[in-house]
């Protein structure tokens, strides 16, 4: 009799514990993240280290880094020849700068992987917005959520969150105003219809307000973007690293 009671007590205690363990292991499942980086004008090795470290602080991540193209403006990545190149990943971060490459078939191999239900989510940073900027077709810009081909001079720009930032997981901890280190404000010529600005900055050249942090819905695939991230000083800034790292997790469907 006593043994039976003990057994029942053990079962009653053990069941919730097992459920909890299962939930814990699901939450701790490492994020599978791919970083595409390289090209002109920026210190991509430094930025890759800063990015991967910042995201790892929020939870376990298995990073794959594809850093190619040297300092050129027109490199092609052999990775994209595989039509399923993005499938193994929960999220792909684009932090590259290949402004002079204008091959629509090549670019569609990238954008089609980040499109529609079942597409692989993406995070797009700084010069990704000027990559493929001479393309006649808009596929890349529609994927990014913004069209930009030039930037304002380097300065310390105030960045102000929008109303949409209030409850957005990527913007947790973002201050009422963040002043960037010396960085470039990108002039946004077009904001695509499914883009939601999370923070904006005002150009010192033309006085206009431009999205600096945003989300895009690329036919059902999440995209998170920011135009800041030029110099290493920005990649040392805890506020920048926090929203980018949270943006990576949000894009991948990890809401915390």
The CA dihedral of 94, 72, 150, 55, to the nearest 10 degrees, is: 20
CB of 83 to Zn ion, least distance (A): 31
CB of 112 to Zn ion, least distance (A): 27
CB of 152 to Zn ion, least distance (A): 11
Which residue, 203 or 221, is less far from Zn ion as judged by CB? 203
Which residue, 31 or 99, is less far from Zn ion as judged by CB? 99
| HEC letters along 82-127 | CCCCCCCCCEEEEEEECCCCCCHHHHHHHHHHHCCCCCCCEEEEHH
Which residue, 215 or 234, is less far from Zn ion as judged by CB? 234
**Residue 224 is encoded by which pair of tokens?**
């998170």
Residue 147 has a CB neighbour count (10 Å cut-off) of 17
Is residue 130 part of the contact set for Zn ion (CB under 5 A)? Answer: no
CB of 41 to Zn ion, least distance (A): 5
Which residue, 62 or 134, is less far from Zn ion as judged by CB? 134
**What single-letter DSSP state applies at residue 171?**
G
> Minimal CA–CA distance to 226: which of 141, 138, 144?
144
Which residue, 222 or 230, is less far from Zn ion as judged by CB? 230
Question: Which residues 154-173 are close enough to bind Zn ion by CB under 5 A?
Answer: none
Closest residue to Zn ion, based on beta-carbon distance: 230
Question: Which residues 207-246 are close enough to bind Zn ion by CB under 5 A?
Answer: 230
Helix/strand/coil for 209: strand
Question: Which residues 21-50 are close enough to bind Zn ion by CB under 5 A?
Answer: none
Q: How far apart are CA 145 and CA 194, in angstroms?
A: 7
Distances from the Cα of 94 to the Cα of 44, 100, 153, 182, angstroms: 11, 16, 23, 22
Helix/strand/coil for 158: strand
Distances from the Cα of 162 to the Cα of 47, 109, 188, angstroms: 27, 33, 16
Which residue, 120 or 131, is less far from Zn ion as judged by CB? 131
Which residue, 85 or 228, is less far from Zn ion as judged by CB? 228
Number of residues that bind Zn ion (CB under 5 A): 1
Helix/strand/coil for 195: strand
Contact 225, 146 (CB under 8 A): yes
Site of interaction with Zn ion (CB under 5 A): 230
């Amino acid at each position: 009799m006593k043994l039976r009671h003990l057994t029942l007590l053990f079962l009653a205690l053990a069941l919730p514990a097992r459920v909890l363990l299962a939930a814990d292991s699901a939450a701790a499942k490492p994020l599978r993240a791919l970083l595409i980086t390289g090209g002109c004008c920026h210190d991509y090795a430094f930025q890759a280290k800063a990015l991967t470290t910042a995201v790892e602080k929020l939870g376990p991540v298995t990073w794959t880094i594809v850093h190619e193209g040297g300092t050129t403006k027109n490199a092609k990545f052999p990775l994209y020849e595989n039509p399923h190149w993005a499938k193994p990943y929960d999220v792909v971060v684009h932090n590259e700068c290949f402004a002079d490459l204008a091959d629509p078939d090549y670019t569609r191999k990238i954008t089609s992987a980040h499109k529609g239900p079942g597409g692989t989510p993406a995070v797009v940073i700084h010069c990704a917005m000027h990559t493929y900027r001479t393309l006649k077709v808009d596929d890349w810009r529609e994927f990014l959520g913004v069209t930009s081909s030039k930037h304002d001079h380097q300065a310390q720009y105030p960045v102000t969150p929008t109303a949409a930032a209030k409850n957005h997981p990527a913007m947790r901890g973002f201050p009422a105003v963040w002043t960037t280190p010396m960085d470039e404000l990108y002039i946004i010529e077009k904001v695509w219809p499914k883009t939601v600005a999370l923070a904006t900055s005002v150009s010192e050249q033309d006085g206009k307000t431009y999205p600096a942090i945003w989300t895009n819905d690329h036919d059902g695939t999440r995209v998170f973007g920011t135009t800041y991230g030029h110099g290493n000083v920005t990649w040392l800034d805890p506020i920048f690293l926090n929203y980018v790292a949270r943006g990576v997790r949000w894009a991948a469907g990890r809401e915390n």
